[in-house]
Structure 1
Amino acid sequence: MRIATRVVLYFIGISLFWVISLRFVNPPITWLMIQRGFELKEQGKGFKLEKNWLDYDELSDNLKLAAIAGEDAHFMTHWGFDMQGIQNAIKKNAQGKKLRGGSTISQQVAKNVFLWPGRSWLRKGFETYFTILIETFWSKKRILEVYLNVIEMGQGVYGADAAASYYFSKTGSNLSKKQAALIIAILPNPREWDARNPSAYVNRRANAIAKYMHHYTIPE
């Protein structure tokens, strides 16, 4: 019992230190970036990792708005979990409809920055734990900044600046409303969908995101 208690206390201490540190220090790499790089290498395509950190004030406001409109409409008001979205997902599941992931931006940051890729109840538990921690110790501004710098936005492409350069030969500071919406529109399947040459479905998603962007606010 003492050993188990000690392990739990060590884990809590280390995780708190980790989360609080990353409130001030930018994460240099994530487990997903490493895994994807080795997957490409195994396919004979070479290890690819395109990323460049932009501070929050350098990021395009259009991209911030598009991320909230397309990925997490209640980002500014929830505490890490979108209860309305969860209820809607349960209803759709009961009706036998296909579900989309539905994770909030905070949950996506938790699993992208702190956890290994994969799916399991254990990982989901850790995701919940780290989501609560970052919502407690980080500002919404920091959560959105980290999200837009680490999220997978193409094959070997991570973050706003790399995506803007890859798809539109621009920086992540200078994206039009439509370009920002297109990048966010591909996030459910960034390795298969293309923001530069969007399918009709991706284009419809982007148009819907662009249409509703003005309804939202971003952290200041």
Structure 2
Amino acid sequence: MVEEITEQPEEKTPVVRKPRKKPAAKSQAKSLARPAGFLARLRGWVLRLVLGVVGFFFLLILLFSFVPPPINIYQIQESWRLGGIKRDWVSWDEIAPVMGRSAVAAEDANFCNHWGFDMAAIRAAIDSGSGRGASTISQQVAKNVFLWHDRSWFRKAAEAALTPAIELVWSKERILEVYLNVAEFDEGVFGVQAAAQHYFGVDARNLTALQAARLAAVLPDPKGRSASKPTDFVRKRTRAIISGAETIQADGRAGCFQ
């Protein structure tokens, strides 16, 4: 007998299929990634903006270390309000030395001894509960040249950031030169040259000690004080400034700009 051989069918290996990810989980992952990516881009934009602003102001500080600053925000506002202003830039060599000493004696006697902030004056102002007398000439230059006039914390923070940079790049002589050329000495009268002509009919280089002290005495309230028609307060302040200018010349506190 012939045996019948039957071929057994080969057993098929079962195919194991990987479970598919649920679409809901995938979309959830995408939705979580989108805010993270947006926040990263936003941080990048903010960082670039901050660096751009810092770079812009630092370039201006470098430029104004040898180029006279153009008209500033406050002068533009006053020009619109008054229909025009008087301003005339003069170099340091065209300003009487006594004018520099008088301005420092009046506004910032420790001008040569600080790096932009007079910490002793700030502590004294805090103790007395008044902010008057704490602002240095360097801070006033930062405000007058680059910023605007108000008492907001944002403006004060910007002033505090700019002041050390100005002190780092500019000499003390340059800071005082710019200050005397942008300060307001009467309503709509900016700069020591325009003020000397306006009040006394002389050039800034020919100011006497009395005239220089009178101009310094109207600061920081040029709209409320007059150098040509001084009140008793202005006369008293003038005498104190004359004495102070002589003192800082004798004790060396005017050495950084003379």
* Identity value in percent: 43
Alignment counterpart, residue 87 of structure 1, candidates 102, 115, 123: 123
> How far has the Cα of 1:60 moved from its partner?
0.9
> How far has the Cα of 1:101 moved from its partner?
4.8
Distance 1:135 1:28, change over 3 A: same
Secondary structure at 1:76's aligned position in 2? helix
- Scaled by the length of structure 1, what TM-score is found? 0.92
Instruction: Provide structure 1 residue ranges, at least 5 long, that are not aligned to the other structure.
Output: 41-46
CA RMSD of superposed structures (Å): 1.1
1:10 aligns with 2:42: no
Taking the TM superposition and a 5 Å limit, the aligned residue runs for 1:91-170 are: 91-93=127-129, 99-170=131-202
- Asked if the contact 2:121/2:133 (under 8 Å) is kept, the reply is no
- Asked if the contact 2:125/2:133 (under 8 Å) is kept, the reply is no
Counterpart residue type for residue 106 of structure 1: S
Rounded Cα–Cα distance in structure 2 between residues aligned with 1:173 and 1:199: 26
Secondary structure at 2:132's aligned position in 1? coil
Could you give the per-residue CA deviations for residues 141-160 of structure 1, whole angstroms, max 9, x where no partner exists?
10000000000111110010
> How far has the Cα of 1:36 moved from its partner?
1.4
* Structure with greater Cα Rg: 2
Counterpart residue type for residue 71 of structure 2: I
Secondary structure at 1:153's aligned position in 2? strand
Alignment counterpart, residue 181 of structure 1, candidates 213, 224, 228: 213
- Aligned length, in residue pairs: 210
- Scaled by the length of structure 2, what TM-score is found? 0.79
Higher-RCO chain (CA-CA 8 Å, sequence separation at least 6): 1
Counterpart residue number, 2:227? 195
Counterpart residue type for residue 151 of structure 1: A
Rounded Cα–Cα distance in structure 1 between residues aligned with 2:219 and 2:74: 14
Distance 1:202 1:60, change over 3 A: same
Counterpart residue number, 1:74? 110
Counterpart residue number, 2:77? 35
Distance 1:77 1:198, change over 3 A: same
Could you give the per-residue CA deviations for residues 133-178 of structure 1, whole angstroms, max 9, x where no partner exists?
1001100010000000000111110010000000011111111111
Q: Which ranges of 4 or more aligned residues in structure 1 deviate by more than 6 Å? A: none
Rounded Cα–Cα distance in structure 1 between residues aligned with 2:96 and 2:88: 14
Rounded Cα–Cα distance in structure 2 between residues aligned with 1:141 and 1:166: 25
Instruction: Provide structure 2 residue ranges, at least 5 long, that are not aligned to the other structure.
Output: 1-42, 249-253
Alignment counterpart, residue 84 of structure 2, candidates 25, 48, 60: 48
Counterpart residue type for residue 81 of structure 2: E
Counterpart residue type for residue 120 of structure 2: Q
> How far has the Cα of 1:197 moved from its partner?
0.6
